[in-house]
Chains A and B, each alone.
Chain A
Amino acid sequence: MLPPPRTSTSTTSSFEPMTRQNTFSSQDGARSLRQSKRASMTALLVSMNARERDLEISDDLARAQRLLRELKVKISSQSKKNFVLEKDVRYLDSRIALLIQNRMALEEQNEVASHLDEAAELQEGEFPNDEKTQKYGNLLFLLQSEPKHIAHLCRLVTMAEIDSLLQTVMFTIYGNQYESREEHLLLTMFQSVLTHQFETTPEYSNLLRQNTPVSRMMTTYTRRGPGQSYLKEVLSEKINSLIELDEMDLEINPLKVYENMIKQIEESTGTLPEDLPRSVTAEFAAEHPQVHAIIDPRLRTLSNLAEGFLDEIIVAVEDAPYGIRWICKQIRNLSRRKYPDARDEAICTLIGGFFFLRFINPAIVTPKSYMLIERNPDDKPKRTLTYIAKMLQNLANKPLYAKEPYMAKLQPFIQRNKDRCNKFMLDLCEVQDFYESLEMDNYVALTKRDIELNISINEVYATHSLLEKHSTDLARDHDSHLAILLRELGSAPAQLPRKDNRAIILPLYSRWESSFDDLTQQLDITQEEILFLEAKSTFVQIIRSLPDRSRALSRPLRLDRIAEAAGTLRNDPVMVRKGIRCVELLSTLSDMGAVERADDYAVLRDEIEQELAHLGSLKDKVLEETLKLEDVYKTIRDHNTYLLSQLETYKNYLHNVRSQAEGVRRPSNVKEKSRELGPYKFSHAQLEKDGVIKRSNVPDNRRSNIYFMFRSPTAGTFVISLHYKGRARGLLELDLKLDDLLEMQKDNQYELELEYVQFDVPKVLALLNKRFARKK
């Protein structure tokens, strides 16, 4: 049995609710349809009012909403920057490895160097001419408002082309991650691609299994702001407390346990008893009583841990991002449609194949790449995390056969939790659709004059060139809007060199306008309703603008008094106009019989009170969401700082390598290269505070006597020495090469030993970068 439909969208649906209620469920039939249209109308009126900018509401709610909006814009643009940076760092990661291994030819070094220079932020600019701006503005508007084109394109491109397309789609065309219209359009695109996949996959078991442009899209989608904050919320604390326990061994593979056991016995006693042979079969190990004794409590601990994760995930069902839940819903609906006989368990398998396999579990297994923790965990906690992910995956999937026989021991965990896990996955699907409001949003977009897109010229050209390449499929109908635009644009220009590429603000608008009259017609809304809604929204605006202690606001509200109060305000012509309009509206509506003067316009008054109450609770929600998002923004910014410092390190390293290579041929640079830099002195306390010293065995009372000197005899080489106050020479000295540090970092070795202290490799790298940057 499905739970009853919810009355509101998920709490973190994160969209600006404005004065619209997003609450309509397809099950309520005509009434809700009507409601949704009314809600949409309100949105339209508000948007039109906003366009006039005639009344700046500046109560607490408005201010909080403004802050939240700004924060969302920042998150969206920052996560795009990170996405681009991550690509650069990934590319350089692999190149630098080759360079360290001295296997890179000079030409390739040059190529990498130019890539590094390119990684800088784009300059702003604009298209060379207005005609282009206009044509591309039309094209991008079409692409944005009719997601079917991009959905189609995603099916046509190769895996090699998909990455740059996704960057443009996820972070530019639908880049405002918290704007309902763009989000909904993006999801519509998902649906179209998913539907196609369901239609073309012959076997149920192959569905959503392969890596396809769709799965790549889903990955990218889950890594946008909302997915990121959700993962942080449900997983971060659990994972962090788990990796603290770096000695907790929860291995349950009998072979591994057995080997570890005899190793320990041998180490402590020096010999191995006769009955413990060195190499054994998995069956022998699994049967061994001593192995049992070790594994049994571990099974319990693992089950408890995994249940803890599951509790957290299930409790937070309403916090799961709307878009991710909506995708789950599409998976459920599409499978029911294609396989009407499929049982819920089978459907849950598919939902789990997205939600757990592609969203939750990767974050559990590699939490660092999801920004949930700062360092890769040690081996033992890492293994534990892998077990937890495997258990959750088994729970979501409930395979009939345990591929690894020892995993069968965790069956009790599965049995105990499978029902609630299934219920959770079905609950995930219980979100409303958005088609009605999307349709509305699109009309709103048509009436607005100020939709813009932050995009780079090369993104525009790349998109154009992909469309051109696949135009025979995409624009088969020569009279379609897309075909017309593509014809007019001609062939796609080549990519600009990065230095000429510019970030531009492209105004979007449609070549094919639709009028407001069509809209009311299509929405089937009467004149009476339009007036009623206008009255409601105007009253709400007036009330929000009146001072809190105004007499006109005493309860119960008297609408005529409020209108009068606004109409007679001094020094505020806008309010006066609103007030007069309200008086008119009240009288017209009374004449139409929609409201009764005799009962103080009770119908309208009650709706206004409802709206105000809704706005009141909205403020708390807005504040709460702002707090959450500030946290997300901080994480994203920290990650950005990390990526930038990584690039800086690579830059310095490459610079050293090249100047050394050049030095052989052109001795001009020798002076700068071979000049000793430093020494710089750091106290123990300072390095400890900055996290450069990770652990220290120096007794507390001696720490103030210890200091460190850092110097760089030549480019790329460093000496760190440990000194004791009053002694002329250092006690310990460590010679370092930048290569070594980079390699350690690459191998996830984060600790650098200097007898009494342990340095943190990335922090040391950052410090060396800062202090010893040489002239290029």
Chain B
Amino acid sequence: MLEKDVEDRLKKAFPGSDVMVSDMTGGGSNFEVRIIASQFSDLNRVKQHQAVMKVFDVELKSGELHALSIKSLAK
């Protein structure tokens, strides 16, 4: 996947969120994601990470995405 794809998918899933994505290895399978979203305000950390990973459920299951390193904050 490309950084842009990951970013667009997150912005669509969490409208109004601030998203920063960087490809950790350049191979399109390990991404670092920083996201600040108002939708996280009543979610604890585990739930926030689960919500972010859910957006890429298919790619994580297929192995196209190997790892998502997530830093999430509620706006």
Same assembly: no
Interface set of A (CB-CB < 8 Å, partner B) = none
